[in-house]
Amino acid sequence: MSEVSPSNQELRDWDALARAAGDRRDSSDSVGEAHRLLSFELAGAPYAVPVERVREIVRMRPVTPVPRTPEEIRGVISLRGEMIELIDLRRRLGLGSIEPSRRTRIIVVKTGDDEVVGLLVDAVREVLRISDEVIQPATGSDTGAVNDLCTFRGEFVSIIELDRVLTLDG
């Protein structure tokens, strides 16, 4: 009870990531249209979502399973009194579920209709600033969840199609 409350700690994480991205701004490439992406890990590989869709990043917390929902919905979490669904992004992308670890995070993203939803990821990495030139179409995505790849530090980062991922059919 005496330590800093988790939400403050988490806000600080998020601030630090955003600031770090701002600092890198001039050092790295700044040709063409720049995108800011939040990168994270799933099964050892890097993925990313647009920063403007991210409301906050929080640590793992108690999850209440909801009966009668698809298995990708891990359950409901309470976020300062708000009740939001938690999507297991591993299951959603067909990567198989794992037990949460110390690095597990919940990325709270905005849905189209003024709501938020939690995405469970293995770990959060950093905020990337990338230009259009380094984005290329991804081919052969089974779930339709990834349409684009971008290269960053010699690595392919898969950009998640949030609107596709947040639509669960039955």
Partner 1 sequence: MAPRESRSRSGRKADQEFVSEAEEILERMREDYADLDDQRAAGGEVDPDLINRLFRSAHSLKALAGMFGLESIQDLAHHLEDILDGLRLGRVSMDSPCVGLIDEAIHTFANLLESVGNEEALAAFNEPVEDLATRIAASAKQAAAAGDELQSLDIDSSLLRALTEYEEHRLRENIQRGRHIMLVGSTFEIMSFDEGLSELSDSIRAIGEVLSTLPAPGETPESQIRFSLLVASDLSLAELTEALDFPDADVRSVREGTPAVEVISAPSERDSASPVPVAPELESLRSISETVRVDIRKLDELMNLVGELVIQRASIGDIAARLLAKPQSAQVGVELSKIHKSLDRKLKGIQSAVLEVRMVPMRQVFDKVSRVVRSLRRDLQKDVRLEVSGADTELDKLIVEELVDPLMHIVRNAIDHGIEPVEERRAAGKDAQGCIKINAFQRGNHVVISVSEDGRGIDRAALFARAQSLGLVSAETELTDRETLNLIFSPGLSTQSEVSETSGRGVGMDVVRENVMALGGAVEVESIPNRGTTISMTLPITLAIIQSLIVAVGKHRFAIPINAVHETLLIDASEIQRSEGREILDLRGDALLLRSLAKEFELDVSRSSEKQFAVIVGLGEQRIGLLVDRLDGQQDTVIKPIQGPVKNVRGFAGATELGDQDAVLVVDVSSLVEDTLSKKEGA
Q: By the criterion CB under 8 A, which residues form the site for partner 1?
A: 1, 61-70, 73, 75-78, 81-87, 111, 115-118, 166-168
SS3 assignment, position 75? strand
The residue (of 4 and 83) whose beta carbon lies closer to partner 1 is 83
Q: Token pair for residue 55?
A: 């409301």
157/166 with CB nearer partner 1: 166
CB of 56 to partner 1, least distance (A): 14
Tokens of 89: 């992004």
Min dist. Cβ of residue 107 to partner 1 (A): 13
Residue number with CB closer to partner 1 (1 or 31) = 1
Of the pair 81, 96, the CB lying nearest partner 1 is at 81
**Closest approach of Cβ 89 to partner 1, in Å?**
13
Q: Which residues pair with 110 in a beta bridge?
A: 116
Backbone angles phi, psi at 37, to 5 degrees: -125, 145
56: left (phi over 0), alpha (psi -120 to 50) or beta: beta
158: which residues sit within 8 A by CB, 6+ positions away? Answer: 45, 46, 47, 48, 138, 146, 148, 149
**Least separation in angstroms between CB 158 and partner 1:** 20
- Run of H or E including 13: helix 6-24
Select 93 or 128, whichever has its Cβ closest to partner 1.
Answer: 93
**Distance in Å, CB of 60 to partner 1, minimum:** 11
